[in-house]
Structure 1
Amino acid sequence: MAKNPYPVMNTGGGLLPKVIGTLVLIAVLTLVIKYPADAAHWVRGLGHVIDGLVAFLRALFG
């Protein structure tokens, strides 16, 4: 049988990444439910960071 020229990625992963991902998801949901105003400020701040990066890249390559 011939070898596959396109190796298949291993998407299974171990138990630890799944546990960490689940804990992060629970933490984010808890934050949004208990402190919605703070979560909104953080998302708005992230939007400002992204806008700044876009402006920087436009100035750099434009």
Structure 2
Amino acid sequence: MAKSPIPMMKTGGGLLPKFVGALLTLAFLAMVIKQPAAAAEMLTGAGAALGAAVEGLMSFLLQLGK
């Protein structure tokens, strides 16, 4: 049996991706604390964009099946 359940998925990672992730997390937390309404609006917009992308992908896949 393979050591990793997901083949070709790196575990661990370098210092730079962890640093960038921590920096983005801190920036988002600062935005939530200082401007909660703007942060909520940003997340709502991101959710709507994600929903539209999923809907478009499903429409494409359904058209392939016809």
TM-score by length of 2: 0.66
Q: What does residue 17 of structure 2 align with?
A: 17
**Of the two, which has the highest radius of gyration?**
1
Q: Which amino acid aligns with 1:57?
A: L
**Aligned residues with identical type, % of pairs:** 41
| SS in structure 2 of the partner of residue 32 of structure 1 | helix
CA distance in 2, matches of 1:32, 1:39: 6
RMSD: 2.1
TM-score by length of 1: 0.69
Gaps of at least 5 residues in structure 1 are none
Superposition deviation, residue 32 in structure 1: 0.7
For this pair of structures, how many residues does the alignment match?
58
Change (3 A) 1:41 1:10: closer
Q: Which amino acid aligns with 2:31?
A: L
Gaps of at least 5 residues in structure 2 are none
